[in-house]
Amino acid sequence: MEVLIVVSYLSAFLTLIYLLVVAGFIRGWHKLIPFKYKQTKGSTAVSIIVAARNEADNIHRTLEALLAQDYNKALTEIIFIDDHSTDNTAEIVRSYAASGVKLISLKESQALNSYKKKAIQTAIGQSTGDLIITTDADCRMGTAWLTTIIAFYEEKRYKMISSPVAYDEEKSFFERAQSLEFLYLIGLGASTIGNKKPSTCNGANLAYEKAAFYEVGGFQGIDDLASGDDELLLHKIAARYDNHIGFLRSRDAMVYTHAKPNLGEFLQQRKRWASKSTRYKNKSIIVLGVFIWFFNVSILLNLLIGLFFFGFLKIALIQLLLKIIIEFIFLLDVTKFAKRRSLMVLLPVLNVLHVLYIIYIGIAGNSGKYNWKGRMVK
C-alpha cells in the first residue's frame, strides 16, 4: 500500500511539472511578435537547398512553388541534391535546368548513416548565397514565402531562423490527427525560441547564415547520426551565438507538406525524430523530455492500477483532464495562427492516444534502427 501512496504523490508531482512546462510554452509563444512584412526590396543573396530521394511523385509541385517566388531572381539560387534516387527524381529536376534550377547528384560509394547531411553540406559547399534556406522535396509554399524570410532576416539579423511548417490536404482521420499533433510540435519549438531556450525546429523550413554554418563546423560531430540536420545544428548555432535564433511567426512564411498515410510510416518518422535526443548537448532538454515521458507513464500506470483500486482511476482521469485543458489553451493560439482551429475537436481523443504514443516512441526512438527513404539507419 505504501508503494501506491508513493505512486500517487509522484503522479501529482509529475502532473504539476507538466502543467508548468506547457504554461512555459504558452508564455514563449506569446513572446513571439507576429511579423508584418514591410514592402522593402531585399538585397540578400540566398541559396535554397533541397535534398531529394525518390520524390518523383511530389517534386513537381515543390519545383513550381520555388520558381513562383516573388523575390529577386538574380539573388536566388535553387539547388536540388539527388540522393541516389531509384526513380526519375533526377530527370524531373534536370528538366528545370532552363529555369535556373541546379542539380547535384550525390555519389557515395561507401555506406553512410547520414546521407541527408552529406547532401546538404555538399550543396552548401557549391552554393553562392549568403543565406541558406532548406526545405524538403515534398513541400509547397506561397509566392511570398522567400520574400518574407529575407525581410525578417534583414530586419532581425538572426543567425538562424526557424519558420512554420504545417500539414494540409488530409485524406483521413489519422492524417487530421497528425496535423494537430504536428502543430503542437511546431508551436513547442517556436515557444522555446520565444523563451530564448531553443530546443527544436524543422528542416523543411529553416534558414541560416552560411558563415554561421561554417563557424560552428557545419555538421561535424553530428554527422554520424542519420537525423539532426535541423535540431542538432540549431543547438550548435544557439550555443555559439548566444541564442541568436528567431522564429518567423508569419503565415506567409508557412511551408506545407503531407502527413504520413499509415501508422507504420508515421512511427518510422517519429522514431527518426526521437533518435536525435541522444545527442543533445543541452542536458536540460533531455531532463525535460524524461519528465514528460514519466508523466505519460504515470497516467498509464494509474489507469492500470485503477482497474483494482478505483482511487487511482480518478487520479488518471484528473491527469488527463488537466493535460487536455493546458494543451487546449496552448493549441488554441497555435491553431488560430495556422488557420486550423477546426482540428481542436480531435484533442480529447488524440490526448488518450498520445499517452501511448509518447511512451512507445520514448523507448523505440532511442534504441535500435529505423527505416528512412528505403534505407535502414540508426
**Of 239, 271, 303, which residue constitutes the final position of a domain?**
271
45 and 150: one domain? yes
Instruction: Report d(CA 112, CA 124) in Å as an integer.
Output: 19
**Of 223, 245, 271, which residue constitutes the final position of a domain?**
271
114 and 216: one domain? yes
The answer to whether residue 278 sits within a structural domain is no
| Sign of the CA dihedral with 191 first, then 146, 159, and 154 last | negative
20 and 143: one domain? no
Using only C-alpha atoms, the chain has a radius of gyration, in whole angstroms, of 21
The answer to whether residue 150 sits within a structural domain is yes
Across-strand partners of 207? 133, 161
Cell of 333: 493560439
The answer to whether residue 250 sits within a structural domain is yes
**Which helix (H) or strand (E) segment is 368 a member of?**
none
The answer to whether residue 288 sits within a structural domain is yes
> In the block, which residue shows the cell 494540409?
168
User: For the domain that residue 250 is a member of, what is the CATH number?
Assistant: 3.90.550.10
37 and 14: one domain? no
Domain hosting residue 150, numbered range: 33-271
| Rounded alpha-carbon distances, angstroms, from residue 268 to 95, 126, 331, 357 | 32, 32, 25, 12
132 and 22: one domain? no
First-residue to last-residue Cα distance in the chain: 42
pLDDT one digit per residue (tens) for the chain, 378 residues: 677 778 788 999 999 999 999 999 999 999 999 998 877 788 999 999 999 999 999 999 999 999 999 999 999 999 999 998 999 999 999 999 999 999 999 886 655 667 888 899 999 999 999 999 999 999 999 999 999 999 999 999 999 999 999 999 999 999 999 999 999 999 999 999 999 999 999 999 999 999 999 999 999 888 777 677 889 999 999 999 988 999 999 999 999 999 999 998 898 888 887 777 766 767 778 888 899 999 999 999 999 999 888 889 999 999 999 999 999 999 999 999 999 999 999 999 999 899 999 999 888 877 656 565 665 565
> In the block, which residue shows the cell 529575407?
150
Alpha helices, H only, 172-309:
173-194, 210-215, 231-240, 263-274, 283-305
80 and 226: one domain? yes
**Of 231, 248, 271, which residue constitutes the final position of a domain?**
271
**Which helix (H) or strand (E) segment is 319 a member of?**
helix 310-338
Instruction: Report d(CA 164, CA 204) in Å as an integer.
Output: 9
266 and 316: one domain? no
362 and 295: one domain? yes
pLDDT of residue 271: 84
258 and 311: one domain? no
The answer to whether residue 324 sits within a structural domain is yes
**Which helix (H) or strand (E) segment is 22 a member of?**
helix 2-31
Across-strand partners of 79? 49, 102
DSSP-assigned states of every residue in 95-139: TTGGGTEEEEE---SS--S-HHHHHHHHHHHH---SEEEEEETT-
The answer to whether residue 12 sits within a structural domain is yes
pLDDT of residue 371: 62
Task: Specify the DSSP class assigned to residue 225.
Answer: S
Is pTM beyond 0.85? Reply is yes
pLDDT of residue 341: 96
218 and 323: one domain? no
358 and 217: one domain? no
243 and 348: one domain? no
The answer to whether residue 276 sits within a structural domain is no
The answer to whether residue 277 sits within a structural domain is no
The number of distinct structural domains making up the chain is 2
